[in-house]
């Protein structure tokens, strides 16, 4: 268990690795916060800690308005969800500052949000969505001209230039190109990035995962594909099943997966999917189940290469002494997932 001193130090440091493992309540203000809250820090003797927001509320504390501890980590604000839905329903629609102000949205605010959460401007996000829509129309047999104008482009020359800058080829030569669709999904443990191709989900990682940028480059190389914001035919089922999993209504996922790797890696990932909900295996047990009892280290390395979190449940693999071991999304998330599935485990590293 985390000590009072350790949690207080994490609060002072605004340490994101402790998100979800505790909430800090300030006796003098009656407010409780996330570990990463940017508000002024209280004295140590004025703080008590709770493992859930429910406990803090039952003790009479109110949620902080600065860090919003009752919201999911990285949750998309409602007004942005509405804008994204409008773009998804009609990719040819172009939101300008005037359109946003008519909806009561300050343009600079939405620009900052997209830069922070997507790493691109709101204008670029709209452009990426339009060009992805046009790409898929061409792949499905539409003419270049029809795909361009249906997706909101006003001239073929402008469409051709944009298309080539994104995909590296002209629209007429794009039949052999592949796209990996990318979306954000909010969960109780924070924002996840999902990637999808025609055959299934190829990526599901927490957006603050270490080495995520490297993973994105790797899957782009594996598929010889361009990563681009956009919807995919598998995303609705993924959203549905993740929601049901976090609501404890689903134990086994059915959404199709497409996980490229070596034959050994794919065998390891397939074996990992056999670990029952609520159970844990050690790396040694996993190697034995795979039929490679002497390949414990190689199995552990393959686990670390898994790019589809939760569904390929590397969080269910623990140390031989029963304690937590490495997890790309953070040990606090691994602990949360196991306890969510009904498994109590030490938080020792």
Residue 219 CA neighbour count, 13 Å, CB half? 28
Residue 314 annotated among the catalytic residues of the structure? yes
The catalytic position among 37, 67, 258, 314 is: 314
Structure token digits, residue 272: 């990992």
Segment (H or E) for 229:
strand 225-229
Q: Could you tell me if 327 and 314 are in contact, meaning their C-beta atoms sit under 8 angstroms apart?
A: yes
Residue matched to tokens 């919807």: 231
Q: Using CA atoms, how far apart are residues 226 and 168, in angstroms rounded to an integer?
A: 9
CB burial class (10 A; 0-12, 13-18, 19+) of residue 111? middle
Residues in the chain: 349
Write the DSSP assignment of 188-227 as a string of letters: TTEEEEEEEETTEEEEEEETT-TTHHHHHHHHHHHHTEEE
Residue matched to tokens 């999904």: 185
CB burial class (10 A; 0-12, 13-18, 19+) of residue 196? buried
Active site residues: 314
């Amino acid at each position: 268990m985390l000590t009072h001193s350790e949690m207080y130090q994490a609060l002072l440091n605004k340490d994101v690795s402790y998100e979800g493992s505790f909430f800090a309540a300030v006796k003098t203000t009656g407010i409780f916060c996330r570990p990463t809250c940017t508000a002024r820090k209280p004295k140590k003797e004025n703080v008590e800690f709770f493992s859930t927001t429910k406990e803090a509320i039952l003790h009479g504390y109110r949620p902080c308005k600065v860090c919003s501890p009752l919201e999911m980590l990285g949750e998309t604000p409602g007004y942005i969800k509405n804008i994204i839905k409008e773009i998804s329903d009609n990719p040819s629609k172009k939101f300008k500052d005037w359109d946003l102000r008519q909806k009561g949205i300050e343009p600079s605010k939405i620009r900052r949000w997209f830069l922070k959460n997507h790493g691109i401007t709101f204008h670029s996000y709209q452009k990426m969505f339009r060009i992805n829509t046009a790409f898929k129309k061409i792949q499905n047999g539409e003419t270049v001209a029809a795909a361009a104008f249906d997706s909101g482009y006003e001239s073929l020359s402008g469409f051709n230039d944009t298309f080539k800058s994104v995909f590296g080829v002209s629209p007429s030569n794009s039949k052999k190109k592949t796209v990996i669709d990318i979306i954000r999904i909010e969960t109780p443990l924070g924002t996840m990035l999902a990637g999808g191709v025609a055959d299934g989900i190829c990526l599901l990682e927490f957006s603050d995962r270490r080495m995520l940028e490297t993973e994105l480059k790797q899957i782009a190389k594996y598929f010889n594909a361009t990563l681009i914001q956009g919807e995919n035919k598998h995303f609705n089922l993924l959203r549905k099943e993740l929601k049901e999993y976090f609501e404890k209504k689903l134990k086994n996922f059915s959404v199709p997966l497409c996980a490229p790797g070596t034959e050994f890696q794919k065998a390891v990932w397939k074996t990992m999917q056999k670990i029952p909900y609520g159970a844990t295996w050690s790396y040694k047990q996993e190697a034995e189940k795979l039929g490679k009892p002497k390949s414990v280290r190689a199995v552990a390395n393959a686990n670390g290469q898994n790019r589809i979190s939760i569904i390929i449940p590397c969080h269910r693999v623990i140390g031989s002494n029963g304690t937590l071991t490495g997890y790309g999304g953070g040990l606090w998330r691994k602990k949360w997932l196991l306890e969510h599935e009904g498994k109590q485990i030490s938080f020792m590293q």
